[in-house]
A and B are shown apart, each in its own frame.
Chain A
Amino acid sequence: MELFNIFIKAAFIENLVLAYFLGMCSYLAVSKTVKTAFGLGLAVIFVLGVTMPVNWVISEKLLSEDGWFGVDLTFLRFILFIAVIASMVQLVEMIVEKISPSLYNSLGIFLPLITVNCAILGGSLFMVAREYNFSESIAFGLGGGFGWFLAIIAIAAIREKIRYSNVPPALRGLGMAFILTGLMGIAFMSLMGIDPTALTAGK
């Protein structure tokens, strides 16, 4: 149940996009239609869910002083995390190309750019900062990915509708997307009062 709490917390209460503004670049650029947003969201869930436990093993077993080598190698953390993420993204790219070439084409450059999606590296760094254990890191990765998925689907749906509204010309497109994200962030803040421990304890 502890794991479920972490999942809920990562997905809704501490949403990576709407509370920490991570992964904004692809979030703003790919959210023009729901279909591509859906594909990218799934890819992010997968990459976050896989890189998080791998990076946990790296940071706890390879780099930490209590690990296998017994030497404090934390200064290598950034480089190794990025390498793991880059190889995972490469893997996803190959899978998507095989399974759905049309999605692969519509995602275009943004699929390799998941590598530099701050949500992924940020998730790993948050995991280190919060000292999660192995299973908690999986739950955090999946929850964070799910939260990102929700956010990008929501903004893509709103942007599809708002195209027919009478927005001031200078605010059209990008400016409006920022303001919408801000409003969604405030909406998600109302979830902050939720106490997951109380929920699962059946109170």
Chain B
Amino acid sequence: MAENTVVQDAKAVKSEPLFGKKEKKLLLDPLNDNNPITVQVLGICSALAVTSLVYPSLVISVAVVFVCGFSSLFTSLIRKNIPKQVRMIVQLVIIATLVTIVELTLKRYNFTVYKQLTVYIGLIITNCIVMGRLEAFAMANKPWRSFLDGIGNGLGYGVILIGIAIIRELFGKGTLFAGSPAEWKIIGPTADYMINTLADGSWFGWYANNNLMVLPAAAMFIIGVFIWIQRSYYPKLVDIS
């Protein structure tokens, strides 16, 4: 294992810009071509049930970006000192420590969201993206690149999560960012909403919230459709299985 990393380091020794083409690719690739959710199928587990509202999804996305980035950074810093047999445990301890920091911070500063997310904050530990990136990238690459790779994958995850949450909250509840300080009420039956379906002469008298979107199953359908759209535009991603 030590030999491997030494060889790779030797290749990367030539002085490279701090933020060149390769770094940009690391950061942007996971947003589409190599998206953790729709292409690598990692990390679906921990957070789909929170996507019924945008605000908690936003919080958990930020948490994942933080954990993913810094666990990659720390693992990469000590990668030459980790014996191969216990690397899983070492990685898990790093991740668990970071997640504990996130949990305690959230408990202190935003208790309502902490209550809403309940066990899902703890489940970031078992989020396969974090672990997967450590195994696949951070164990063999330099700290700065690993950090960018972690951030990129966290962002790719967050984009999908927030995309699902926007669709589910808008059609399921008629609001956006409910529960946050900046709550938008888009469509609903009272005067508080931007589009009041019951106002005189309203064109939206027929509109009712779609209760399917509140159910967890809706997240599955939406991801299925996301994958469908993405693979229609990028046929190279299609796997025959």
Contacts and interface: CB of A to CB of B under 8 A. Distances in A.
B30 to A, nearest CB: 17
Contacts of B118: 125, 129
A116 B133 CA distance: 13
B15 interface: no
Contacts of A77: 122
Contacts of B235: 169-170
B220 A116 contact: no
Interface in A1-43: 18-25, 28-29, 32
B89 A179 contact: no
Contact of A25 (B45, B88, B89): B45
Interface centre among B122, B128, B131, B239 (most CB of A within 10 A): B122
Contact of A175 (B216, B218, B231): B231
A182 B221 contact: yes
B217 to A, nearest CB: 4
Given A82-B92, A82-B96, A171-B228, A24 B44 contact: yes
B49 interface: yes
Contacts of B218: 182
Interface in B71-111: 88-89, 92-93, 96-97, 99-100, 103-104
A152 to B, nearest CB: 13
Interface string A159-203: 000000000111111111011011101100100000000000000
Chain B interface SS verdict (over half): helix
Interface residues of B, number: 47
A178 B220 contact: yes
Given A25-B43, A25-B45, A78-B125, A125 B227 contact: no
Nearest to A169: B238
Given A22-B123, A178-B223, A178-B227, A173 B100 contact: no
B69 to A, nearest CB: 19
A79 B93 contact: yes
A21 B224 contact: no
B44 A25 contact: yes
Interface string B197-241: 000000000000000000111111101110110011001001111
Nearest to A127: B119
Given A75-B104, A170-B228, A189 B238 contact: no
A95 interface: no
Contacts of B232: 170
Contacts of A25: 41-45, 128
B122 A83 contact: no
A109 B35 CA distance: 21
A21 B127 CA distance: 12
A176 B240 CA distance: 12
Q: Is the interface of A mostly helix, strand, loop or mixed?
A: helix
A112 interface: yes
Contact of A116 (B41, B126, B217, B240): B126
A69 interface: no
A168 B228 contact: yes
B31 interface: no
Interface string B41-69: 11111101100000000000000000000
A171 B224 contact: yes
B220 A185 contact: yes
A24 B88 contact: no
Contacts of B217: 18, 181-183, 185-186, 189
B215 A189 contact: yes
A142 interface: no
A78 B100 contact: yes
A23 B45 contact: yes
18 contacts: A19-B216, A23-B45, A24-B44, A25-B41, A82-B125, A86-B88, A86-B89, A116-B125, A118-B45, A122-B126, A125-B119, A125-B122, A126-B119, A170-B235, A178-B223, A179-B221, A179-B224, A182-B217
